Amino acid sequence: MSDLTNVNPDAEKLEGMEHTKQYDFRLPETYFYRSEKGLNRRVIEKVSYFKEEPEWMLAFRLKALEIAEKKGPPRWGPDLSGLNFDDIYFYIRPNERKGTVDDWEEIPEEVRETYRRLGVPEAEQRVLAGVGAQYESEMVYHKLKEEWERKGVIFLDTDTGLKKYPELFKEYFSTVIPPEDNYFAAVNSAVWSGGSFVYVPEGVEVEVPLQAYFLLNAQSIGQFERTLIIGAPGSKFHYIEGCTAPAYNTDSFHSGVIEIIVQDNANVRYSTIQNWSHNVYNLVTQRALVHAGASMGWLDGNLGSKVTMKYPSCYLVGERAHGEVLSIAFAGDGQHQDAGSKMIHAAPHTTSSVVSKSISKGTGRSSYRGLVQIYEGADFARSNVECDALLLDEVARTDTYPYIEIDEKTAHVGHEATVSKLDDEQIFYLMSRGLAEDEAMALIVRGFLDPVAKELPLEYAVELNRLIELEMEGSVG
């Protein structure tokens, strides 16, 4: 039931591969093309050349590069000094083939095996409407079940989306997150490759999730997927993203941009439980534009990576639009999870809700960084933010940076924050009932996360619990 979203660290299942402690695969690095290290004009031109893109896209990329160079990395938030662009390969093309295939058999055996062991093809059969799989810089597999194709649903890798639906693509691409938005969005705009392109037509309800799975195998790689999701009026669907990477001594860099347009009365959910290995900088921009009567829900689980900066946002631009963020972060030794949300109320009667739960252990550090902004004229907007932090020991650290800007008298905004420490009395109590110390700690943590976990479909909740238990291993001192 479990292995749907993420890494499967059951080492014995991965016999014959080079094992690492927790991240369970590491294939030989083979590729058709690898860019020089670093980010420059040559690299971008090469990416564009390989993709045989329209000219406007190359122009867009080069402009974005200029913007990135002008902006420079953010001077706030977590320490990014270990991230050196000159050590990163910004584009790795795994094979010569252009575009994706829709048959796992056509994927090189070793790569296919990794996805198989992660349970992706099996989940595709059972519980998903469509699956995309990205390996290094390119999507290698993409398939939508016929049933949904017939109803006009589009689910493609973003490069193919640009080719097959140039008008639709151009109409929405970069409209939610322009390169000017932030440094990492600019970098992504310059070198983006892969990601998913999703369009669900008016009134269509996709009852089972669409999923994309991102795999990094190479050392010192940067992955810059670009996802564009459009929910036409009255549509309803759930998109899930999973990701994994082997642990190396050198750092890798993942910086996706996810743009979602939720049109009138549509209902879109986007869930991700990232479990990157602890050498990945995970700096992602996710934003949804939510129109009248529509609803957008982000579920954001941050368990892996070295540094995460991720603030899923909803721009509530239509009357009665609703935005929601459920966020879970686990910062183990050496990790910094800087996560949060942005809720921008720009229309009357818009509502938003944020629930953030973070856990810090050892030298791990978690921060909640959130913005609630209510513009003048957004009459009777309501927003509620709740962030709870749990510290597993004396050294762990948590911070909250809430920003609230209200320009409308009728607004109703609530913010609640709690910090608790793993309580010796609770542990003793649970142990006195027969639970071992590590089980007792895991149970307290599970209970702490329960309000969010119970919003997840069962198999994802199971997976989340399993990942948390893995992260908790070795917590008993």
Partner 1 sequence: MSDRTLEIRNLHARIPGGEAILRGVDLVVPRGEVHALMGPNGSGKSTLAKIIAGDPSYEITDGEILLEGEDVLSLEPDERARAGLYLAFQYPVEVPGVSIANFLRLALNARLPEGEEVGVMDFYRKLQAAVTALDWDESILERNLHEGFSGGEKKRSEILQLLVLEPRYAILDETDSGLDIDALKVVAKGVNAARGPAFGCLLITHYQRLLNYIIPDRVHVMIDGRVITEGEKELAMELDQKGYDWVREQVGA
Q: Residue 15 or residue 425: which is nearer to partner 1 going by CB?
A: 425
CA distance linking residue 143 with residue 25, whole number of Å = 24
User: Angle at CA 330, nearest 5°, toward 248 and 278?
Assistant: 5
Interaction of residue 359 with partner 1, rule CB under 8 A: no
| Residue 326 C-beta: closest distance to partner 1, Å | 14
* Part in contact with partner 1 (CB under 8 A); list of ranges 16-24, 73-81, 362-370, 427-435: 427-435
Interaction of residue 101 with partner 1, rule CB under 8 A: no
> First and final CA of the chain: distance in angstroms?
32
Interaction of residue 432 with partner 1, rule CB under 8 A: yes
Q: Residue 74 or residue 451: which is nearer to partner 1 going by CB?
A: 451
Q: Residue 319 or residue 386: which is nearer to partner 1 going by CB?
A: 386
Interaction of residue 46 with partner 1, rule CB under 8 A: no
| Residue 142 C-beta: closest distance to partner 1, Å | 38
Map residues 368-407 to x or -, x wherever contact with partner 1 holds by CB under 8 A.
----------------------------------------
Interaction of residue 424 with partner 1, rule CB under 8 A: yes
- Binding residues for partner 1, rule CB under 8 A, total 24
CA distance linking residue 254 with residue 373, whole number of Å = 28
Of 168, 371, 404, 435, which one interacts with partner 1 (CB under 8 A)? 435
Note every long-range contact of 122-129, with CB atoms under 8 Å and residues 24 or more positions apart, other chains counting.
Answer: 122/3, 123/3, 123/4, 123/211, 124/211, 127/4, 127/208, 127/209, 127/459, 128/208, 128/209, 128/210, 128/211, 129/153, 129/155, 129/206, 129/207, 129/208, 129/209, 129/210, 129/237
Of 447, 458, 473, 474, which one interacts with partner 1 (CB under 8 A)? 447
CA-closest candidate to residue 268, choices 301, 303, 233, 302: 233
Interaction of residue 146 with partner 1, rule CB under 8 A: no
CA distance linking residue 422 with residue 393, whole number of Å = 7
Interaction of residue 168 with partner 1, rule CB under 8 A: no
Q: Residue 439 or residue 459: which is nearer to partner 1 going by CB?
A: 439
Interaction of residue 425 with partner 1, rule CB under 8 A: yes
Interaction of residue 460 with partner 1, rule CB under 8 A: no
CA distance linking residue 278 with residue 133, whole number of Å = 21
Neighbours of 1 (CB within 10 A): 12
Q: Which amino acid is at 238?
A: H
CA-closest candidate to residue 245, choices 211, 214, 272: 214
Q: Residue 371 or residue 435: which is nearer to partner 1 going by CB?
A: 435
The residues of the shown chain that bind partner 1, judged by CB under 8 A, are 423-426, 428-437, 439-440, 443-444, 446-451
